[in-house]
């Protein structure tokens, strides 16, 4: 059973106690996907008791998620060194959540399972999606990555001006979405390029 965040003050206390790493699930009881995600994450925590995983009901505690631009549930916010470093939106299966834990280099993360055909363990490329809240194509890129079980970090350049300036310097483009895959930047929702770089087939 995931521990519940009662209010904003409680959240600050928990964040202070888990400065190195904190996982916070934003959910509502009205969302079936939230219930699915909570059930799966609870089973993972059962196997990894030291995992600092908490939950907060956004319909009851309404003053935390706006601070981080979270506008849909379920969402997992990853806090490192007291600051948010990643947000994972949506409900996924247990294997995908375990993959996310591994990609974030969590010491308690379950072991990756080898590929059924080769017996090798494949490490996913580092994926960062640069977005703004009003960008419809940004949502399309994120949905496509989720559909293909690709974990990614989202950076809202409207909130992070420095990241936006750095992105423009590197790509020469100011528009979004832009997807960075292991240092390579793909401008727009260029599905063929994304497929080629990430090895996505059959979509």
- Sheet bearing 184-187, strands edge to edge: 153-156, 127-131, 178-181, 184-187
Among residues 116, 137, 161, the one where a domain terminates is: 116
Tally of structural domains, the chain: 2
Q: Could you give the CA distance from residue 47 to residue 147 in angstroms, rounded to a whole number?
A: 26
- The distance of Cα 20 from the centroid of its chain, to the nearest Å, equals 17
53/90 same-domain check: yes
Among residues 88, 116, 144, the one where a domain terminates is: 116
Q: Would you say 61 and 8 are in contact if contact means Cβ atoms under 8 Å apart? A: yes
Q: Would you say 173 and 184 are in contact if contact means Cβ atoms under 8 Å apart? A: no
| Ordered per-residue pLDDT tens for the chain, 203 residues | 789 999 999 999 999 998 888 899 999 999 999 999 999 999 888 877 778 899 999 999 999 999 988 888 999 988 888 888 888 888 888 777 776 665 554 443 333 444 445 444 455 688 999 999 899 999 999 989 988 888 888 899 998 888 899 899 989 998 999 999 988 999 999 999 999 999 888 65
CATH code for the domain of 42? 3.40.30.10
105/63 same-domain check: yes
43: closest CA among 87, 107, 112, 92?
92
| pTM attached to this predicted model | 0.54
Domain that holds residue 183: 124-203
Among residues 116, 149, 170, the one where a domain terminates is: 116
Q: Identify the H or E element spanning 22.
A: strand 21-27
DSSP string for residues in 50-107:
T--EEEEETTT--SSGGGGT--SSSEEEEEETTEEEEEEES---HHHHHHHHHHTT-T
pLDDT of residue 84: 86
Q: Would you say 186 and 134 are in contact if contact means Cβ atoms under 8 Å apart? A: no
108/145 same-domain check: no
Q: Identify the H or E element spanning 181.
A: strand 178-181
Q: Residues with Cβ < 8 Å from 137, sequence gap 6 or more?
A: 176, 177, 188, 189
């Amino acid at each position: 059973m995931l521990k519940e965040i009662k209010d904003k003050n409680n959240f600050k206390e928990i964040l202070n106690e888990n400065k190195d790493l904190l996982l916070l699930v934003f959910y509502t009881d009205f969302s079936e996907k939230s219930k699915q995600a909570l059930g799966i994450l609870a089973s993972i925590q059962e196997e990894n008791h030291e995992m600092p995983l908490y939950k907060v009901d956004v319909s009851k505690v309404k003053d935390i998620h706006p601070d981080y631009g979270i506008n849909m549930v379920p969402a997992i916010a990853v806090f490192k060194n007291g600051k948010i470093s990643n947000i994972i939106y949506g409900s996924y299966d247990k294997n995908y959540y375990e993959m996310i834990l591994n990609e974030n280099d969590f010491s308690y993360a379950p072991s990756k399972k080898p590929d059924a055909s080769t017996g090798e363990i494949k490490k996913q490329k580092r994926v960062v999606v640069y977005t703004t809240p009003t960008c419809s194509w940004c949502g399309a890129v994120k949905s496509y990555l989720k559909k293909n079980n690709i974990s990614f970090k989202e950076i809202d350049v409207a909130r992070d001006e420095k990241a936006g300036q750095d992105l423009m310097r590197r790509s020469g483009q100011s528009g979004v979405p832009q997807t960075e895959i292991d240092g390579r930047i793909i401008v727009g929702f260029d599905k063929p390029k994304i497929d080629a770089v990430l090895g996505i087939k059959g979509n």
